[in-house]
Structure 1
Amino acid sequence: MGRAALDDLRRAELVEAAVESVARIGVQAATTARIAETADLSPGLVHHYFADKEDLLAAAYKATRKPAAAAYARALVVAPGAAVPPRLRLIAAVEAHLTPAVLTPVRAAAWTQFTALTPYRFAFARIRRAQRCRQESNLRAALVALEGDRQTAAALAQTAALALDGLWVEAATREGGLAPGEGEDLMAALLAPHYVPE
């Protein structure tokens, strides 16, 4: 394994350990020493790969929603040169946030912890704005084509984004998390007739 690949692996291990630590014990208690211990790495490596704890936590916050962006991108892969129908684009935008591989209890708990701190930490607020902008943009792109009215589509996209975030909070705070299909059913009721879970 080359040096660059090892560096990428170590950074990813520390980021995942930070997500897990924040989910388990909260942002304040997730010290660099505890995060390094969770990753089974030396605490000195945290400062080798990240400027400070805030830099590591910002990377962890980004990582909580990164799988949703990747799931959305994968869902839009169709035959070369083919356009993705708006209804499939909407399904992808919703289900990218709800699939069990993305919406895990650990990821939801860490995301909720980080999001609660966005009014107080500039770096977190910037990450949150980027997450919301991407989320609403993906929803709006599909809904404009389905609704035909830009203003209605924008309002519905905002409402859907808020509902998806609420489902993440519910998954993090409710004992046992969401029931299978619960999130999809709620989104289907909200976005009817455009969204029908697969």
Structure 2
Amino acid sequence: MSNSELPLFVDSVKPFEQGSERTGQLPVAGFKRLLPLLVDDSGDVDVSLVFSFDEDKRRVIEGRLSATLNVECQRCLESMALPVASEFQVGVVDSEALAEQLPAELEPVVAQEREIDVRGLIEDELIMSLPEFPLHESEQCAATATLERINKSADADFEQARKKRENPFQEALAGLGSSGSRGQEPDQ
């Protein structure tokens, strides 16, 4: 299969029996659940999928994906290109009941009417690959320079105010030392 012909759906049995590998690209614009998390829908996702049976005769898909997604930096709120990559392994089953029987290292994918939704599988992996709070590197973020300038100014203002501030107990302590109680014995 050529690099651009990655199918959106595959049969839930044949590619495993054939031990096939599918590689290709899917446009970011086709991932409807992912789009609200992005700034735009540009680019493609490079995908490689290997279909096989494991030693217990379970259907397994081993996959790799990579893409550059445009997201919003949560520090400066500007667009940023975020490279994402993921390697994953899923077990294909025909029902939710069978999904519960898979070992922990295999994420379950339930085949619907003998088809596997490749786009849905890839979209799930892309969403899980996104950081909760995407941020530019500090030296690339417009907000970092502004925050550093504000912090330096605030630190300088704080230090200046600290030096100016009188200790409210200083006068009381000075008054205690010079009061008329010197040289007198306490009353008994």
Query: TM-score range with shorter-chain normalisation?
Result: under 0.3
Higher normalized contact order (CA 8 Å, seq sep 6+, divided by chain length): 1
| Higher-strand-fraction structure | 2
TM-score, with length taken from structure 1: 0.23
| Higher-helix-fraction structure | 1
TM-score, with length taken from structure 2: 0.24
